Amino acid sequence: MKKINYIVLLLLLLVGTSDVLKANETSSQVSASTETAESKGDVNVNELVFGHIGDAYEWHVITLGDKALSIPLPVIVYSSTGWHVFSSARLEEGPYEGLYIAQEGPYEGKLVERNTAGEEIRPFDISITKNVMGLFINSALLLVVLMSCVRWYKKHPVESGAPRGGVGMMEAMILMIYEDVIQKCIGPDYKRYAPYLLTVFFFILINNLMGLVPFFPGGANVTGNIAVTFVLATCTFIMTNVFGSKEYWKEILWPEVPLWLKVPVPMMPVIELFGIFTKPFALMIRLFANIMAGHAAILSLVAIIFITVKVGPVINGSMTAVAVAFGIFMDALEVLVAFIQAYVFTMLSAVFIGLSRVKEHE
């Protein structure tokens, strides 16, 4: 019980520190990237929010005075002049080897070059951006956590008793997903899908939680990136349809409905085929929208502090207290959302896979 209290206390300290650090970072972004807005006495909240949760070619760590401390990341592109591999720090002084980061337009924030007509075009870009680096770090952290559990089980036989602490928590989560979600939703053939679904759950969970950590190596908006959720949904789509039973495809292509709903116009087969794609699409949008909305809400609350600066110290001070209080509440809520979204994605994936394993009706 004391350990649980310590964990709750550390959690509250983390979310409180999160608002302070996010406020500091937001303040630095106001002074560094919104000069036009400052000249008019306004703060561009839209630019601040989406600039923070968006991807970047460098990892901003902290701002000390007027100097921003960032970690440059590798740029790897194939342009009209061939392959280019260099550090993103080269782009701070302007175009490098004909490549630069677009400041506006459809490619804003992306690496571009100019063609012979002077138009901005996108090269083939496989750079290690902030989200990609965050993906590597979070995956490595997940491996460390799981391998530490494996090491504990190797050293402690079953007769020694149940594990405690972090290993015990991991065992409880694994059993919850394995028995209450995978086994019940899929049915007799659940074991072949358990490795994938357990991997998906912990992968989404670690990325959701690390996205709430306000300092390096946390803060990357990995699961709030639609490209990441698209790949996760595509994996579920493949597991559902490639390994679906014959009865599953029979119910899609020739469902048991009145004949006039199938011929001459295949109304029901078309609807069923459409449903194959809407299920993973819903998975993709649900995870992406919930995580991105949480980050945007917290940053918007922090931005209130700087929006009300010119109103006066009384209003600014009161709104600062309100913003910090609501920010701490939203941070604590996002910890719960991080788990819920990982659980929902895994549960719905298990349900879709279970529906594809339907047996022939007697």
Percent over 70 (pLDDT), the chain: 86
In Å, how far are 50, 175, 196, 344 from 187, measured between CA atoms? 43, 16, 15, 18
User: Is 50 exceeded by the pLDDT of residue 126?
Assistant: yes
pLDDT bracket for residue 42 (50, 70, 90): low
Q: Tell me: pLDDT of 280 over 50.
A: yes
Tens of pLDDT, residue by residue over 136-167, are 999 999 999 999 999 998 888 877 778 888 89
Give just the sign of the alpha carbon dihedral 263, 267, 273, 276: negative
Mean pLDDT of 68-82: 91
Quick: pLDDT tens for 159-184: 777 888 889 999 999 999 999 999 99
Q: What is the pLDDT of residue 92?
A: 86
> Which of the residue ranges 16-30, 31-45, 252-266 has the most confident prediction, judged by mean pLDDT?
252-266
pLDDT of residue 38: 42
Residue 316: CB partners within 8 Å, gap ≥ 6? 305, 308, 309
What is the three-class DSSP state of 193? coil
- Quote the percentage of the chain above a pLDDT of 90: 46
* Predicted confidence band of residue 62 (pLDDT cuts 50, 70, 90): confident
Q: Classify residue 155 as exposed, middle or buried by CB count within 10 Å of its CB (0-12, 13-18, 19+).
A: exposed
Determine the average pLDDT of the residues in 209-233. Answer: 91
pLDDT at 18: 43
Cis peptide upstream of residue 264 (ω within 30 degrees of 0): yes
Question: Cβ–Cβ contacts within 10 Å for residue 324, how many?
Answer: 18
Phi, psi of 55 (to 5 degrees): -85, 165
User: Which tens digits make up the pLDDT trace of 348-359?
Assistant: 999 999 999 877
Res. 32 pLDDT band, cuts 50 70 90: very low
55 neighbors 42 (Cβ within 8 angstroms):
no
Mean pLDDT is highest, among 3-17, 288-302, 338-352, for 338-352
Helix (H, G, I), strand (E, B) or coil at 163: coil
Write down the residue that tokens 């902290």 correspond to.
62
Q: Quick one: pLDDT at residue 260?
A: 85
Q: In whole angstroms, what is the distance from residue 92 CA to residue 83 CA?
A: 20
- Residue 14 scores a pLDDT above 80: no
Residue 56 in contact with residue 250, Cβ under 8 Å?
Answer: no
Q: Quick one: which of 17, 105, 24 has its CA closest to 64?
A: 24
In 3D space, the residue among 171, 169, 198, 170 whose CA is nearest the CA of residue 183 turns out to be 198
